[in-house]
Chain A
Amino acid sequence: MIFKELLQDMDRAQREMFRWMDAPLGQGAAFPLISIYRNEEGLLLQADVPGVGPEQVDISIANDVVTISGKVPGYGAEKEVKDSDQSAGGEGDANAPESSFSALRRERFSGEFSRTIELPVEVDSAKAQAKVKDGVLELILPLREERKPRKVSVTGA
């Protein structure tokens, strides 16, 4: 009985956490993986996008929902992957392209990606800033003015 309640609590906690997140991790993990930091001024969203440069990622914000999309370039973007039935490094016929390669092991994410994240606070999208460095995207999202904590001065009666 107690165990069942514990499971229900855990389920509820997980659903709470995922309420504002998109697809939960596990089957088909989302790309990119993100972290969210906050302070009084707003949020900082970090996303791991190794191999991706500033020109290869797009960010759009609407109604406090951020969409990060783009494409992780494949190996030698101008080359084509060899057919699987051709031997690796083999000669091929005279018409085959001069340089060709084959993939032996693929662990990294590749190709197009798009991830939507519902933010936990209201942000001022006009003041958002983004930069990409060493394969990490950093998105600064200031709080909307009226959402910032306000100090209230206390006067004597």
Chain B
Amino acid sequence: MIQKTLNKTPEAKKQEKSTIQNESYAPRHELSPDVDLYLDNNSYVLEFALPGVDEKSIDVSVEKNILTVKGVTQSSLPEGYELYYSENASGDYKRSFRFDEQISIDEISASHKNGLLRVTLPLKAPVSRKIEVGS
């Protein structure tokens, strides 16, 4: 039987303070894409489901410590056809996430394949240095 996974996995519940928090869901006239969040070695990875959005219609931006993903759907009504039955809402996608200072903003990257946008947010390397003792 196919089961949809619950939102918060046990690992997430154990985290007291999340490095990445959901900042906002889209307002009612926009769609909020489903998102998976992974911690992969030293990076957080967000996967956004953006079916029907081609790569050039995707906008990924970072402002202060908020990541925002927008996607404009190609018109879902095919030319010359009438709608007969629909289950999926059509519209543009938007969703934001807040992240904290552990993320190295300059190294955030994104890739796209098969309607899935993957945004990688690397954690900053821990700072360690020797401190000399002066006389």
Interfacial chain A residues near B54, Cβ < 8 Å: 133-134
B→A interface (CB under 8 Å): 1-12, 15, 18, 20, 34-42, 44-45, 47, 49-55, 76-78, 80-88, 113-116
Set B39, B49, B115: member contacting A89, Cβ < 8 A: B39
Kindly supply a per-residue 1/0 record for chain A positions 67-105, scoring 1 wherever the CB is within 8 Å of any chain B CB and 0 otherwise. 000000001100000001000110000000001111111
Which residue of chain B has the shortest Cβ distance to A101 in the bound complex? B40
Find chain A residues with CB under 8 A from B50 CB. 50, 134-135
* Contact present for B2 and A99 (CB under 8 Å): no
Q: Are B52 and A134 in contact (CB under 8 A)?
A: yes
Chain B residues near A38 (CB-CB < 8 A):
81-82, 84
Cβ-defined partner of B115 (8 Å) among A28, A36, A51, A106:
A51
Q: Which of B4, B12, B40, B42 contacts A29 (CB 8 A)?
A: B4
11 A-B contacts (beta carbon < 8 Å): A37-B83, A50-B50, A53-B113, A53-B114, A75-B40, A101-B45, A105-B8, A106-B9, A108-B49, A132-B114, A136-B115
* Across-interface contacts of A61 in B (CB, < 8 A): none
The smallest C-beta distance from A27 to any residue of chain B, in angstroms, reads 10
- Looking at A29, A38, A48, A50, the one whose CB has the most chain B CB atoms below 10 A away is A50
Interchain CB contact (< 8 A) of B40 among A53, A99, A108, A112: A99
